[in-house]
């Protein structure tokens, strides 16, 4: 039980938090420039 909690906590800290911060920063940069976030452009290119 304790090992699972430590593992989940470590994964959230090392993977999820940096990923969310990166996406949030990219979104803010797009808003500052007046453009859509980079991920929106990639989705349109795929279609």
The pLDDT tens digits for 1-47 are 889 999 999 999 999 999 989 888 888 777 677 665 555 555 555 55
pLDDT at 35: 61
Residue 36 near residue 30, CB atoms below 8 Å? yes
How do the domains of the chain map onto residue ranges? 2-46
Residue-level length of the chain = 47
């Amino acid at each position: 039980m304790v090992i699972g909690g430590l593992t989940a906590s470590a994964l959230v800290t090392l993977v999820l938090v940096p990923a969310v911060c990166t996406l949030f920063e990219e979104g803010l940069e797009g808003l500052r420039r007046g453009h859509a976030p980079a991920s929106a452009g990639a989705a349109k290119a795929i279609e």
